[in-house]
Amino acid sequence: MTLADNAVQQNEWSQAGRLDSKIGALLFLAFAAAYFCSALVRAITATLSPVLTQDFALQARDLGLLAGGYFLGFAAMQLPLGGWLDRFGPKRVILYFLSMAVLGCLAFSVASSFAWLLAARVLVGMGVSACLMAPLTGFRRWFEAPMVLRANSWMLMTGSLGMLASTLPVQWLMPLTGWRPLFWILAAMIVLAMVAIAWLVPHWNVAPTLATARASLPPERAVSPWGGPAVKLAPTFVASRTALPPEGAGLAGGGPALRPLVPTPVVSVSVPPHEASYAPIWRSRYFRKMTPLAFFNYGGLVALQTLWAGPWLVKVADYSALQAATGLFYINAAMLVTFWGWGMLNPWLAQRGWSANRLIAWGVPLSLAILALNILAGAATGWLGWALFCMASSVMGLAQPAVGMAFPAALAGRALSGYNLMIFSGIFVVQWGIGLLIDAFSATGLSEIASFQLAMAVFLCCCIASYGYFLSVNADN
């Protein structure tokens, strides 16, 4: 029995199924430990790119594919992941997935060819693919809405801390251990995170409370959460609503009054077959509005932060390997502070009418302007220019919880995983695409600096187009 399950017995859950602050903080830290490892192994290729390029004779497209392999594996798991999270809950799913990440790290450490490296990298990506979606699915149930935004920002802050650890600390360790033992250490860290999750995270009930079950059901005739005309609920919805007894009432056969937490076998909420799929997610106008931003803007942010900022610093700005690692350290430190700031400000901004949509509408143009200046400056753009771009782009982190809260709690796992699929598909495409473009422009006789600039300019055009689509669609969460 976990610590949170003990809290259930001791009545530390609120009537709506929320966790109290102490248990919630411990649970957050357990998930944060896993996400820290996920971000560290995600970003480590930027620091290791010089040694991997030398050891395996990699070209730019190979390096882009290797880094993108993580995101390919990650994206491939998102659709089944969402359904599994809604059905089995965060704890069970993330423990199974992290087992694959441990195997992937060990396989990467003994790789003897590029193909082996790539296969291990894909396996790692699959294994850590639940490290953000699992806690966000749980937060949707366990925390109040303002705290969901704060917890999301602080999870991203934890990710920035992991990326921070992938820079100078990794650069300092490599002369002592070599790059292969680093992945043994990573595997051990993931195992420790799994132990914390197994001990702290509560078991998952489909309908943890009468209040939650009743609140999650829409009115008999209501506007669909994904947009469109009013819809008539399936009979199973109506029957489930009427079947729920009032809280505090005794059982039908007599006995004591019902407690706020009711075991799953007592109350079950039937879900129509089409609601168990991704159909309502794909039909949502709001989801479709946010998708291009997720693919290009958010995906591009991560692609640059976790890979291409490093090669730019070395090959365009003429940094040494140590200087580039130091620059990446500063970039990720800036992102850590930025996400901490979002976590502190989000509840305050929400109370004053600054929704996620409004903040994104104002923040994205700033990031695009900085990206354009970085491209034009060429060799003069160092770590500071890329840090400013990443900080301005961090506003996209608000989109994820906004999408999750646009749907009923029963669909949260699928909504978040569907959106995450768009993000990580974008990361893979942008990371590999920039490498392909750099090699293609170099093959025409352009200098390395000009090739990097033109590849980034293509990326900028895609981001501008996705922002234009965002503005053109009239939909809100």
Predicted TM-score (pTM) of the model is 0.71
pLDDT of residue 113: 94
Task: Tell me the C-alpha distance between 203 and 336, whole Å.
Answer: 31
Burial class from Cβ neighbours inside 10 Å (0-12, 13-18, 19+) for residue 263 reads: exposed
Sign of the dihedral defined by the CA atoms of residues 270, 275, 278, 280, in that order: negative
Would you mind telling me the total number of residues written for the chain in this entry? 477
382 Cβ contact partners less than 8 Å away, ≥ 6 residues apart: 313, 317, 319, 327
- E-assigned strands of 76-140? none
Can you give the pLDDT at residue 111?
A: 95
Cβ(334)–Cβ(167) under 8 Å? Answer: no
Instruction: Kindly give the parts of the chain with pLDDT less than 50.
Output: 8-16, 207-271, 273-274
Alpha-carbon distance of 415 to 420, in angstroms, equals 9
What gap in Å lies between CA 132 and CA 362, rounded to an integer? 26
Residue 5's pLDDT is: 57
State the pLDDT at residue 212: 46
Distances (CA, A) of 41 to 140, 162, 165, 203, 258: 26, 8, 10, 28, 47
Residue 257: phi and psi, rounded to 5, are -65, 150
